[in-house]
Chain A
Protein backbone atom coordinates (compact mmCIF):
# COMPACT_ATOMS: atom_id res chain seq x y z
CA UNK A 1 0.00 0.00 0.00
CA UNK A 2 1.56 3.27 -1.11
CA UNK A 3 1.29 6.66 0.54
CA UNK A 4 -1.57 7.72 -1.67
CA UNK A 5 -3.62 4.71 -0.63
CA UNK A 6 -2.91 5.50 2.98
CA UNK A 7 -3.90 9.10 2.39
CA UNK A 8 -7.18 8.01 0.80
CA UNK A 9 -7.89 5.66 3.70
CA UNK A 10 -7.25 8.43 6.21
CA UNK A 11 -9.39 10.81 4.19
CA UNK A 12 -12.37 8.48 4.31
CA UNK A 13 -11.79 7.54 7.94
CA UNK A 14 -11.69 11.17 9.04
CA UNK A 15 -14.48 12.50 6.90
CA UNK A 16 -16.90 9.66 7.38
CA UNK A 17 -16.20 8.81 10.98
CA UNK A 18 -19.49 8.68 12.85
CA UNK A 19 -18.21 10.93 15.63
CA UNK A 20 -17.83 13.81 13.21
CA UNK A 21 -21.39 13.92 12.02
CA UNK A 22 -22.91 17.27 12.95
CA UNK A 23 -26.53 18.28 13.23
CA UNK A 24 -29.60 17.71 15.33
CA UNK A 25 -32.10 15.13 14.15
CA UNK A 26 -35.52 16.41 13.14
CA UNK A 27 -38.22 16.12 15.80
CA UNK A 28 -40.82 14.91 13.31
CA UNK A 29 -38.81 11.77 12.67
CA UNK A 30 -38.58 11.07 16.37
CA UNK A 31 -42.37 11.40 16.62
CA UNK A 32 -42.69 8.83 13.86
CA UNK A 33 -40.21 6.56 15.56
CA UNK A 34 -41.87 7.00 18.95
CA UNK A 35 -45.16 5.86 17.46
CA UNK A 36 -43.48 2.71 16.21
CA UNK A 37 -41.79 2.19 19.58
CA UNK A 38 -45.10 2.56 21.42
CA UNK A 39 -46.74 0.17 19.01
CA UNK A 40 -43.97 -2.37 19.58
CA UNK A 41 -44.18 -1.74 23.30
CA UNK A 42 -47.88 -2.47 23.11
CA UNK A 43 -47.28 -5.65 21.19
CA UNK A 44 -44.73 -7.11 23.60
CA UNK A 45 -45.28 -8.15 27.20
CA UNK A 46 -43.98 -5.60 29.68
CA UNK A 47 -45.50 -6.12 33.14
CA UNK A 48 -45.61 -2.42 34.04
CA UNK A 49 -47.39 -1.13 30.96
CA UNK A 50 -50.71 -1.82 29.33
CA UNK A 51 -50.10 -4.08 26.36
CA UNK A 52 -51.91 -6.41 24.01
CA UNK A 53 -51.67 -9.30 26.47
CA UNK A 54 -53.51 -7.32 29.13
CA UNK A 55 -56.05 -6.23 26.54
CA UNK A 56 -56.67 -9.80 25.44
CA UNK A 57 -56.92 -10.90 29.08
CA UNK A 58 -59.43 -8.13 29.83
CA UNK A 59 -61.54 -9.03 26.80
CA UNK A 60 -61.38 -12.71 27.69
CA UNK A 61 -62.37 -12.06 31.28
CA UNK A 62 -65.25 -9.86 30.20
CA UNK A 63 -66.40 -12.54 27.78
CA UNK A 64 -66.21 -15.25 30.46
CA UNK A 65 -68.11 -13.14 32.99
CA UNK A 66 -70.66 -12.21 30.33
CA UNK A 67 -71.20 -15.83 29.35
CA UNK A 68 -71.46 -16.83 33.00
CA UNK A 69 -74.15 -14.23 33.68
CA UNK A 70 -76.07 -15.10 30.55
CA UNK A 71 -75.99 -18.77 31.52
CA UNK A 72 -76.94 -17.93 35.07
CA UNK A 73 -79.93 -15.90 33.92
CA UNK A 74 -80.99 -18.70 31.65
CA UNK A 75 -80.69 -21.19 34.49
CA UNK A 76 -82.77 -18.91 36.72
CA UNK A 77 -85.50 -18.80 34.11
CA UNK A 78 -85.47 -22.57 33.95
CA UNK A 79 -85.45 -22.82 37.71
CA UNK A 80 -88.47 -20.53 38.07
CA UNK A 81 -90.68 -22.14 35.48
CA UNK A 82 -91.05 -25.62 37.02
CA UNK A 83 -91.58 -24.22 40.46
CA UNK A 84 -93.98 -21.59 39.45
CA UNK A 85 -95.70 -22.18 42.67
CA UNK A 86 -98.27 -19.92 44.07
CA UNK A 87 -98.75 -20.07 47.76
CA UNK A 88 -102.18 -19.30 48.86
CA UNK A 89 -102.18 -18.12 52.37
CA UNK A 90 -105.36 -17.93 54.18
CA UNK A 91 -105.65 -14.78 56.07
CA UNK A 92 -107.45 -15.90 59.13
CA UNK A 93 -107.22 -13.61 62.07
CA UNK A 94 -109.24 -15.82 64.38
CA UNK A 95 -110.18 -19.11 62.96
CA UNK A 96 -112.78 -20.00 65.48
CA UNK A 97 -114.39 -16.72 65.89
CA UNK A 98 -114.42 -15.96 62.20
CA UNK A 99 -116.90 -18.17 60.57
CA UNK A 100 -115.57 -17.74 57.09
CA UNK A 101 -112.44 -16.81 55.20
CA UNK A 102 -112.68 -13.31 53.85
CA UNK A 103 -110.01 -13.55 51.34
CA UNK A 104 -107.19 -15.68 50.08
CA UNK A 105 -103.90 -13.93 49.70
CA UNK A 106 -101.82 -15.24 46.87
CA UNK A 107 -98.15 -14.65 47.23
CA UNK A 108 -96.46 -15.30 43.96
CA UNK A 109 -92.89 -15.25 42.70
CA UNK A 110 -91.76 -13.45 39.57
CA UNK A 111 -93.96 -14.65 36.81
CA UNK A 112 -93.43 -14.00 33.16
CA UNK A 113 -96.09 -12.39 31.04
CA UNK A 114 -96.81 -15.56 29.19
CA UNK A 115 -97.53 -17.34 32.40
CA UNK A 116 -100.10 -14.85 33.65
CA UNK A 117 -102.89 -16.33 31.64
CA UNK A 118 -102.20 -19.82 32.84
CA UNK A 119 -101.96 -18.49 36.36
CA UNK A 120 -105.43 -17.05 36.12
CA UNK A 121 -106.69 -20.31 34.77
CA UNK A 122 -104.99 -22.17 37.56
CA UNK A 123 -106.53 -19.99 40.19
CA UNK A 124 -109.90 -20.43 38.63
CA UNK A 125 -109.52 -24.15 38.42
CA UNK A 126 -108.28 -24.17 41.96
CA UNK A 127 -111.33 -22.38 43.16
CA UNK A 128 -113.53 -24.66 41.09
CA UNK A 129 -111.86 -27.72 42.54
CA UNK A 130 -112.24 -26.38 45.99
CA UNK A 131 -115.91 -25.87 45.31
CA UNK A 132 -116.34 -29.35 43.92
CA UNK A 133 -114.43 -31.13 46.60
CA UNK A 134 -115.63 -29.38 49.65
CA UNK A 135 -119.12 -28.26 48.97
CA UNK A 136 -121.40 -31.14 49.47
CA UNK A 137 -124.74 -31.00 47.81
CA UNK A 138 -127.35 -29.65 50.08
CA UNK A 139 -131.04 -29.63 49.79
CA UNK A 140 -132.29 -26.83 47.66
CA UNK A 141 -134.21 -25.45 50.50
CA UNK A 142 -131.11 -24.87 52.52
CA UNK A 143 -128.89 -23.36 49.85
CA UNK A 144 -130.11 -19.85 49.54
CA UNK A 145 -129.15 -17.77 47.82
CA UNK A 146 -127.50 -19.39 44.86
CA UNK A 147 -123.72 -19.31 44.90
CA UNK A 148 -122.17 -16.22 43.40
CA UNK A 149 -119.07 -16.37 41.26
CA UNK A 150 -115.62 -15.85 42.78
CA UNK A 151 -114.09 -12.47 42.21
CA UNK A 152 -110.39 -12.06 41.69
CA UNK A 153 -108.87 -8.71 42.42
CA UNK A 154 -105.23 -8.10 41.98
CA UNK A 155 -102.71 -5.37 42.32
CA UNK A 156 -99.02 -5.32 41.35
CA UNK A 157 -97.89 -7.94 43.81
CA UNK A 158 -100.87 -9.75 45.18
CA UNK A 159 -103.98 -11.33 43.94
CA UNK A 160 -106.98 -11.73 46.06
CA UNK A 161 -109.69 -14.21 45.45
CA UNK A 162 -112.88 -13.25 47.15
CA UNK A 163 -115.34 -15.98 47.71
CA UNK A 164 -119.05 -15.51 48.06
CA UNK A 165 -120.37 -15.91 51.53
CA UNK A 166 -122.39 -18.91 50.64
CA UNK A 167 -119.34 -20.97 49.78
CA UNK A 168 -116.82 -19.47 52.09
CA UNK A 169 -114.93 -22.26 53.75
CA UNK A 170 -114.80 -22.54 57.44
CA UNK A 171 -111.25 -23.28 58.20
CA UNK A 172 -110.22 -25.10 61.27
CA UNK A 173 -107.44 -23.59 63.40
CA UNK A 174 -104.92 -26.10 62.11
CA UNK A 175 -105.44 -25.06 58.52
CA UNK A 176 -102.49 -23.15 57.29
CA UNK A 177 -102.10 -22.96 53.61
CA UNK A 178 -102.80 -24.26 50.21
CA UNK A 179 -100.10 -24.56 47.62
CA UNK A 180 -100.96 -24.31 44.00
CA UNK A 181 -98.46 -25.29 41.41
CA UNK A 182 -99.20 -23.44 38.23
CA UNK A 183 -97.46 -25.47 35.60
CA UNK A 184 -98.94 -28.74 36.66
CA UNK A 185 -102.16 -27.12 37.80
CA UNK A 186 -102.07 -29.24 40.85
CA UNK A 187 -103.61 -28.21 44.08
CA UNK A 188 -101.95 -29.43 47.15
CA UNK A 189 -104.08 -29.01 50.13
CA UNK A 190 -103.36 -29.39 53.72
CA UNK A 191 -106.47 -30.34 55.51
CA UNK A 192 -108.55 -27.56 54.22
CA UNK A 193 -112.07 -28.05 55.08
CA UNK A 194 -114.89 -26.19 53.63
CA UNK A 195 -118.08 -26.23 55.45
CA UNK A 196 -121.18 -24.71 54.36
CA UNK A 197 -122.52 -22.36 56.84
CA UNK A 198 -125.98 -23.24 57.64
CA UNK A 199 -128.24 -20.44 57.13
CA UNK A 200 -131.75 -20.36 58.19
CA UNK A 201 -134.26 -18.60 56.22
Chain B
Protein backbone atom coordinates (compact mmCIF):
# COMPACT_ATOMS: atom_id res chain seq x y z
CA UNK B 1 0.00 0.00 0.00
CA UNK B 2 2.02 2.87 -1.32
CA UNK B 3 -0.53 5.55 -0.70
CA UNK B 4 -0.74 4.96 3.05
CA UNK B 5 -1.48 8.15 4.91
CA UNK B 6 0.63 8.97 7.93
CA UNK B 7 -1.03 10.73 10.80
CA UNK B 8 1.51 12.43 13.03
CA UNK B 9 1.22 13.91 16.51
CA UNK B 10 1.21 17.48 15.20
CA UNK B 11 -1.82 16.80 13.08
CA UNK B 12 -3.61 15.14 15.97
CA UNK B 13 -2.82 18.17 18.16
CA UNK B 14 -4.26 20.49 15.52
CA UNK B 15 -7.33 18.31 15.19
CA UNK B 16 -7.78 18.35 18.94
CA UNK B 17 -7.69 22.14 18.88
CA UNK B 18 -10.49 22.11 16.31
CA UNK B 19 -8.36 23.39 13.43
CA UNK B 20 -10.70 23.37 10.43
CA UNK B 21 -7.84 23.24 7.89
CA UNK B 22 -6.53 20.06 9.42
CA UNK B 23 -9.97 18.55 9.21
CA UNK B 24 -10.15 19.56 5.58
CA UNK B 25 -6.88 17.73 4.96
CA UNK B 26 -8.18 14.70 6.84
CA UNK B 27 -11.36 14.80 4.83
CA UNK B 28 -9.50 14.92 1.52
CA UNK B 29 -7.10 12.16 2.51
CA UNK B 30 -9.32 9.68 4.25
CA UNK B 31 -12.85 10.26 3.14
CA UNK B 32 -12.72 7.87 0.13
CA UNK B 33 -11.72 4.97 2.36
CA UNK B 34 -14.19 5.90 5.07
CA UNK B 35 -16.95 6.37 2.53
CA UNK B 36 -16.34 2.86 1.32
CA UNK B 37 -16.81 1.53 4.84
CA UNK B 38 -20.12 3.35 5.04
CA UNK B 39 -21.14 2.09 1.63
CA UNK B 40 -20.46 -1.49 2.65
CA UNK B 41 -22.69 -1.34 5.70
CA UNK B 42 -25.69 0.47 4.27
CA UNK B 43 -27.54 -0.19 1.10
CA UNK B 44 -27.94 3.11 -0.69
CA UNK B 45 -25.46 5.86 -1.54
CA UNK B 46 -27.61 8.46 0.18
CA UNK B 47 -27.60 6.44 3.41
CA UNK B 48 -23.85 5.98 3.09
CA UNK B 49 -23.41 9.73 2.77
CA UNK B 50 -25.48 10.31 5.89
CA UNK B 51 -23.46 7.77 7.82
CA UNK B 52 -20.22 9.28 6.56
CA UNK B 53 -21.19 12.78 7.66
CA UNK B 54 -22.33 11.55 11.05
CA UNK B 55 -19.12 9.59 11.48
CA UNK B 56 -16.93 12.52 10.48
CA UNK B 57 -18.72 14.80 12.91
CA UNK B 58 -18.27 12.20 15.65
CA UNK B 59 -14.55 12.23 14.93
CA UNK B 60 -14.55 16.00 15.15
CA UNK B 61 -16.46 15.97 18.40
CA UNK B 62 -14.51 13.16 20.08
CA UNK B 63 -10.98 13.71 18.80
CA UNK B 64 -10.02 15.14 22.19
CA UNK B 65 -10.69 11.75 23.77
CA UNK B 66 -8.07 10.06 21.57
CA UNK B 67 -5.12 9.25 23.82
CA UNK B 68 -2.72 7.49 21.47
CA UNK B 69 -2.18 9.26 18.12
CA UNK B 70 -0.80 6.06 16.58
CA UNK B 71 -4.16 4.38 17.07
CA UNK B 72 -5.93 7.13 15.16
CA UNK B 73 -6.67 5.09 12.02
CA UNK B 74 -8.16 2.18 13.93
CA UNK B 75 -10.08 4.55 16.17
CA UNK B 76 -11.50 6.40 13.19
CA UNK B 77 -12.45 3.21 11.38
CA UNK B 78 -14.19 1.95 14.48
CA UNK B 79 -16.19 5.18 14.72
CA UNK B 80 -17.41 4.84 11.14
CA UNK B 81 -18.29 1.19 11.65
CA UNK B 82 -20.17 1.93 14.87
CA UNK B 83 -22.00 4.80 13.20
CA UNK B 84 -22.97 2.53 10.32
CA UNK B 85 -24.13 -0.18 12.74
CA UNK B 86 -26.20 2.35 14.68
CA UNK B 87 -27.75 3.46 11.42
CA UNK B 88 -28.46 -0.14 10.44
CA UNK B 89 -30.05 -0.88 13.82
CA UNK B 90 -32.23 2.19 13.49
CA UNK B 91 -33.26 1.27 9.98
CA UNK B 92 -33.86 -2.41 10.76
CA UNK B 93 -36.03 -1.29 13.67
CA UNK B 94 -38.25 0.44 11.15
CA UNK B 95 -38.56 -2.43 8.73
CA UNK B 96 -38.09 -5.95 10.03
CA UNK B 97 -36.36 -8.03 7.47
CA UNK B 98 -37.28 -11.62 7.06
CA UNK B 99 -34.65 -13.82 5.47
CA UNK B 100 -37.22 -16.10 3.95
CA UNK B 101 -39.10 -13.23 2.37
CA UNK B 102 -35.92 -11.85 0.86
CA UNK B 103 -34.78 -15.20 -0.54
CA UNK B 104 -38.21 -15.79 -1.98
CA UNK B 105 -38.38 -12.37 -3.53
CA UNK B 106 -34.91 -12.81 -4.92
CA UNK B 107 -35.86 -16.11 -6.58
CA UNK B 108 -38.92 -14.44 -8.02
CA UNK B 109 -36.83 -11.57 -9.33
CA UNK B 110 -34.40 -13.95 -10.95
CA UNK B 111 -37.20 -15.91 -12.59
CA UNK B 112 -38.67 -12.73 -13.95
CA UNK B 113 -35.47 -11.18 -15.24
CA UNK B 114 -33.35 -14.08 -16.34
CA UNK B 115 -35.21 -16.82 -18.17
CA UNK B 116 -32.08 -18.81 -18.80
CA UNK B 117 -31.26 -19.08 -15.10
CA UNK B 118 -31.66 -22.60 -13.74
CA UNK B 119 -33.89 -22.19 -10.68
CA UNK B 120 -32.90 -25.54 -9.27
CA UNK B 121 -29.27 -24.57 -9.05
CA UNK B 122 -30.04 -22.32 -6.07
CA UNK B 123 -30.84 -25.26 -3.87
CA UNK B 124 -28.48 -27.69 -5.46
CA UNK B 125 -25.67 -28.63 -3.05
CA UNK B 126 -23.54 -30.08 -5.82
CA UNK B 127 -23.58 -26.95 -7.90
CA UNK B 128 -20.27 -26.04 -9.40
CA UNK B 129 -19.02 -22.66 -8.19
CA UNK B 130 -15.82 -22.76 -10.20
CA UNK B 131 -17.02 -19.91 -12.39
CA UNK B 132 -16.23 -17.57 -9.49
CA UNK B 133 -12.57 -18.50 -9.71
CA UNK B 134 -12.33 -17.51 -13.38
CA UNK B 135 -13.96 -14.13 -13.24
CA UNK B 136 -12.45 -10.86 -12.09
CA UNK B 137 -15.05 -8.90 -10.17
CA UNK B 138 -14.99 -5.15 -9.85
CA UNK B 139 -15.45 -3.28 -6.60
CA UNK B 140 -18.94 -2.22 -7.66
CA UNK B 141 -19.89 -5.81 -8.38
CA UNK B 142 -18.65 -6.93 -5.00
CA UNK B 143 -20.71 -4.21 -3.35
CA UNK B 144 -23.73 -5.26 -5.38
CA UNK B 145 -23.27 -8.86 -4.27
CA UNK B 146 -23.04 -7.76 -0.66
CA UNK B 147 -26.16 -5.67 -0.93
CA UNK B 148 -28.15 -8.61 -2.25
CA UNK B 149 -27.84 -10.67 0.94
CA UNK B 150 -29.87 -9.74 4.04
CA UNK B 151 -28.44 -7.09 6.32
CA UNK B 152 -27.80 -9.22 9.42
CA UNK B 153 -25.76 -11.70 7.36
CA UNK B 154 -23.97 -8.96 5.50
CA UNK B 155 -22.91 -7.20 8.67
CA UNK B 156 -21.48 -10.29 10.34
CA UNK B 157 -19.64 -11.23 7.14
CA UNK B 158 -18.12 -7.77 6.80
CA UNK B 159 -17.17 -7.42 10.42
CA UNK B 160 -15.45 -10.79 10.42
CA UNK B 161 -13.99 -11.12 6.93
CA UNK B 162 -13.27 -7.55 5.82
CA UNK B 163 -12.79 -5.66 9.06
CA UNK B 164 -11.17 -8.51 10.97
CA UNK B 165 -13.27 -8.66 14.12
CA UNK B 166 -13.55 -11.91 16.10
CA UNK B 167 -16.91 -13.53 16.73
CA UNK B 168 -16.81 -12.54 20.38
CA UNK B 169 -16.31 -8.88 19.44
CA UNK B 170 -19.03 -9.06 16.81
CA UNK B 171 -21.40 -10.60 19.34
CA UNK B 172 -20.76 -7.65 21.67
CA UNK B 173 -21.02 -5.07 18.93
CA UNK B 174 -24.37 -6.12 17.56
CA UNK B 175 -25.79 -7.67 20.72
CA UNK B 176 -26.02 -11.29 19.62
CA UNK B 177 -24.36 -14.41 20.95
CA UNK B 178 -21.17 -15.81 19.52
CA UNK B 179 -22.82 -18.90 18.06
CA UNK B 180 -25.33 -16.78 16.19
CA UNK B 181 -22.47 -14.79 14.77
CA UNK B 182 -20.78 -17.95 13.47
CA UNK B 183 -24.02 -19.25 11.98
CA UNK B 184 -24.70 -15.97 10.28
CA UNK B 185 -21.21 -15.97 8.81
CA UNK B 186 -21.75 -19.41 7.28
CA UNK B 187 -25.09 -18.40 5.85
CA UNK B 188 -23.61 -15.21 4.49
CA UNK B 189 -20.82 -17.11 2.78
CA UNK B 190 -23.29 -19.51 1.16
CA UNK B 191 -25.48 -16.68 -0.08
CA UNK B 192 -22.53 -14.69 -1.39
CA UNK B 193 -21.17 -17.78 -3.12
CA UNK B 194 -24.44 -18.24 -4.89
CA UNK B 195 -24.70 -14.62 -5.82
CA UNK B 196 -21.14 -14.38 -7.09
CA UNK B 197 -21.55 -17.60 -9.07
CA UNK B 198 -24.66 -16.21 -10.69
CA UNK B 199 -22.82 -13.02 -11.56
CA UNK B 200 -19.82 -14.96 -12.85
CA UNK B 201 -21.96 -17.14 -15.11
CA UNK B 202 -23.68 -14.02 -16.47
CA UNK B 203 -20.35 -12.35 -17.06
CA UNK B 204 -18.91 -15.39 -18.83
CA UNK B 205 -22.04 -15.67 -20.93
CA UNK B 206 -21.96 -11.98 -21.80
CA UNK B 207 -18.29 -12.30 -22.69
CA UNK B 208 -18.94 -15.24 -24.98
CA UNK B 209 -21.82 -13.54 -26.69
CA UNK B 210 -19.86 -10.29 -26.98
Minimal beta-carbon separation of A5 from chain B (angstroms): 6
Q: Is the CB of B162 within 8 A of A4?
A: no
Q: Is the CB of A19 within 8 A of B1?
A: yes
Q: Which secondary structure dominates where chain A touches chain B?
A: helix
Residues of chain A with a CB closer than 8 A to B189's CB: 5, 8-9
B98 within 8 A of A: no
Q: Count residues on chain B whose CB falls below 8 Å from chain A CBs.
A: 41
Across the interface, name the chain B residue whose C-beta is closest to A49: B18
Q: Is the CB of A19 within 8 A of B3?
A: yes
A30 within 8 A of B: yes
Q: Is the CB of A18 within 8 A of B23?
A: no
Q: Is the CB of A40 within 8 A of B57?
A: yes
Interface string of B31-58 (1 = CB under 8 A from A): 1111111001000000001000100110
Interface string of A42-61 (1 = CB under 8 A from B): 00101011000000000000
Known: A8-B192, A16-B146, A30-B27. 17 other contacts (CB 8 A): A7-B132, A8-B132, A9-B189, A11-B137, A12-B142, A16-B40, A16-B142, A17-B162, A19-B3, A20-B139, A23-B32, A25-B27, A29-B49, A30-B28, A34-B20, A37-B57, A40-B57
26 examples of A-B residue contacts, CB within 8 angstroms: A4-B132, A7-B133, A8-B132, A9-B161, A11-B132, A11-B137, A11-B196, A12-B157, A12-B192, A16-B143, A17-B162, A18-B36, A18-B37, A19-B33, A21-B33, A25-B28, A30-B24, A33-B57, A34-B24, A36-B53, A37-B57, A38-B20, A40-B57, A44-B61, A48-B17, A49-B18
- B residues near A (Cβ < 8 Å) are 1, 3-4, 17-18, 20, 23-24, 27-28, 31-37, 40, 49, 53, 56-57, 60-61, 77, 129, 132-133, 137-139, 142-143, 146, 157, 161-162, 189, 192-193, 196
